[in-house]
Structure 1
Amino acid sequence: MADDTLARMRLVLLGTGAADYDWSRLGEPGVRGSTSSLLNGHILIDCGATGLRNLQRNGIDFGAVDTLLVTHSHGDHFQPDQIVELARTPGKAKPFRIYAAPEALAQLPEAGDFEKRELAPGLHFQLGELNVTALPANHLTDFPSEQAYHFLFESAAGTLLYALDGAGLTKPEWLLIDGIKFDWIVIDCTMAEEGDWRIFEHNDRTVVRHLLATFRNRGMIDETTRVVLNHLARTLWPEDEKLIQAKAAEIGAQAAFDGMTLERERRYSAPVGV
């Protein structure tokens, strides 16, 4: 026998800007927070320069966050003092888990109100209802040995590729995702136009368009897949929000904005007792 079960997935894009914003002006029109997202109400992806303010601005109770996934240790994605403060929130469910590369984890205190868990390319782990895979990204930090990460999230509610920061996909990353059908793709698009030198570790719209064409040819996306361009640079995109969205639409995507929320539900049959 089976029960009809409703699965849900919800992603809030708390901050959507690249590192060229003046975050002393956060809250003013057009000023995006440092890139971070909250998945299913309790999994925070990155906590950088405006990490805690991102949560506050979106009305998120610090105590609800029980897991942090770190893409890499650049300051707009990773701020140890803010992470320690988040972990020490009174009443927070324990343990508070931090998944990151060893080089990032080494910047946190040896002991604290958290558990350190090292990421490795291809590592699979479970977060509640989500199956998570750590994907090796093409992005350098101040530590030559540090591997940056994208994340694949799979659940009964849907499949999400979260790919910030990075230039295109690495071959090992491609081998881990080839053939997977995506419901959502949240992808780096730091530059609106081609020709910028940052192309070697960030995307522009041309690179994203080529990736989407390949995904489409492989049956990994279709007209129902929602593609969101994130990590938008202040100096490399227009100021006008309508123009930003128009440029994103040209490649079949949407441009992220602070507070943007993606939600989906899916009914599925689960064995009784599961």
Structure 2
Amino acid sequence: MKITFLGTGAFEGFPNPFCICSNCEASRNAKSEDLRLRTSVLINDDLLIDFGPDIVASCQKIGIDLVAVRTLLITHSHADHLYLSNFRLRQPDFCNSWAELPEMTVVTHNSVARRIQEDNQYFEGARVKIIGVDQFVPIEINDYAILPLKANHKVSEDETPLLYLIIDGDGKSLFYGTDTGILPVETIDNLCEYMGSNILSAVVLDGTMGFPGLTYPYHLDFFKLLETVKSLGSRGIISSKTKVISTHFSHNQNPIHKELKERYSGYNIITSYDGLTLKI
């Protein structure tokens, strides 16, 4: 499994263009690893997680295309994770090779699926199929086994924000765990039940809140991320062989990449940056 981080920033990006805090100022004057677009991840070139407003900039920055994407997983409907106008990039008016694109299946919570299907202007001619799913109900699609899991995140009342367990055709497994606070007990239980005696190949976790001066129940900070790793380890689904990666960094309490990397590496956790590619 190949994992490419297209963006690793939180809602406001890093740096926030309207902010001159010490972290934003430091990132403007540092290396490219410190310039973080909104969070999105590409798996094996054909599965995309989240579709926010920076998807064009991310692909330009890294130098890749998304023409092979057949599956798009949406975690939730917040604007930094789902920007509907992106679907128009696949329409004939905007894409010369639209007829050669594979059909892209969009997987999201049932309430989000219903909502985005109400406005057909984004999907006409875009070769997109939308599938609504429920938490804890596994699906198989385009050579992947996928288990949607419940996140601890604040969205509209009728929406369940999702995390995903993804297993590819080679049996490699990824638990994608952002945006969320401390994982719900039922999420860990269902994750463990589905994995059985198998160990996760990789885990991506939410590092939004950094090194606390303030806390927020719907995202992790550095210490809650470590607590989550310990909790998953105690249940036997991660080991020393599991790659653990932090992402979705806010400028509010996260320093520049070099400092983040120094702190996380002490716990054998990889600090993601835009363009990082890992093979597991």
Q: Distance in 2 between matches of 1:87 and 1:203?
A: 37
Structure 1 CA distance, aligned partners of 2:41 and 2:165?
14
What is the rounded CA distance, in whole Å, between the counterparts of 2:108 and 2:224 in structure 1?
A: 27
Distance 1:23 1:205, change over 3 A: closer
Report the Cα offset of residue 91 of structure 1.
3.3
The equivalent residue for 1:58 is: 62
Matched, 1:220 2:247: no
Partner secondary structure for residue 162 of structure 1 = strand
Structure 1 length-normalised TM: 0.84
Instruction: Give the residue type in structure 1 aligned to 2:72.
Output: L
Partner of 2:86: 82
1:192 is aligned to 2:210? yes
Distance 1:212 1:185 in 2: 9
Cα distance change of structure 1 residues 86 and 31 upon mapping to structure 2, 3 Å threshold = farther
Q: Note the alpha carbon deviations across 1:136-179, whole angstroms, 9 max, x for none.
A: 111112x2211111000123342110011001211221121126
| Structure 2 counterpart of 1:107, from 116, 123, 148 | 116
CA distance in 2, matches of 1:60, 1:177: 32
Q: CA deviation at 1:215?
A: 2.0
- Taking a change above 3 Å as real, the CA distance of residues 92 and 138 of structure 1, as seen in their structure-2 partners, is farther
Whole-Å Cα distance in 1 between the matches of residues 91 and 279 of structure 2? Answer: 27
Work out the CA distance in 2 between the residues paired with 1:74 and 1:193. 24
Q: Distance in 1 between matches of 2:49 and 2:91?
A: 14
**Paired residue for 1:19?**
11
* 2:106 partner letter: I
Hey, what does 2:270 align to over in structure 1?
Answer: 254
The separation in 1 between residues aligned to 2:258 and 2:278, in whole angstroms, is 20
Partner SS for 2:56: helix
1:116-139 per-position Cα deviation (integer Å, ceiling 9, x unaligned)? 100210121223332111111111
SS in 1 for 2:262: helix
In the alignment, what sits opposite 2:136? 122
Cα root mean square deviation, aligned: 2.2
* Identical positions, percent: 23
C-alpha contact (below 8 Å) 2:45/2:66 kept by paired residues = no
Please give the alpha-carbon distance, in whole angstroms, between the structure 2 residues aligned to 1:129 and 1:87.
25
Which residue of the partner structure matches residue 71 of structure 1? 75
Question: Counterpart in 2 of 1:268?
Answer: none
Between the aligned partners of 1:167 and 1:92, the Cα distance in structure 2 is: 40
Aligned residue-pair number:
252
- In 2 relative to 1, CA 51–80 (structure 1 residues): closer, same or farther, beyond 3 Å? same
Alignment of 1:95 with 2:97, yes or no, is no
Tell me, in whole angstroms, the C-alpha distance in 2 between the residues paired with 1:53 and 1:170: 34
Q: Are the structure 2 counterparts of residues 195 and 53 from structure 1 closer, same or farther at C-alpha, using a change threshold of 3 Å?
A: same
- Aligned-pair distance for 1:54? 1.4
Deviation for aligned residue 1:87: 6.0
Higher strand share: 1
Paired residues for 1:153-164 under 5 Å: 153-155=166-168, 156-164=170-178
- Given the alignment, which residue of 38, 42, 45 partners 2:42? 38
Letter aligned with residue 134 of structure 1: P
Return the alpha-carbon distance in structure 1 between the equivalents of residues 172 and 224 of structure 2.
Answer: 25
> Quick one: distance in 2 between partners of 1:93 and 1:101?
24
Maintained 8 Å contact 2:9/2:250: yes
Unaligned runs of 5+ in 1: 1-8, 265-274
1:148 matched to 2:171? The reply is: no
Say yes or no: does 1:229 pair with 2:246.
yes
What is the rounded CA distance, in whole Å, between the counterparts of 2:173 and 2:71 in structure 1? Answer: 19
C-alpha distance 87-187 of structure 1, shift in aligned 2 (>3 A): farther
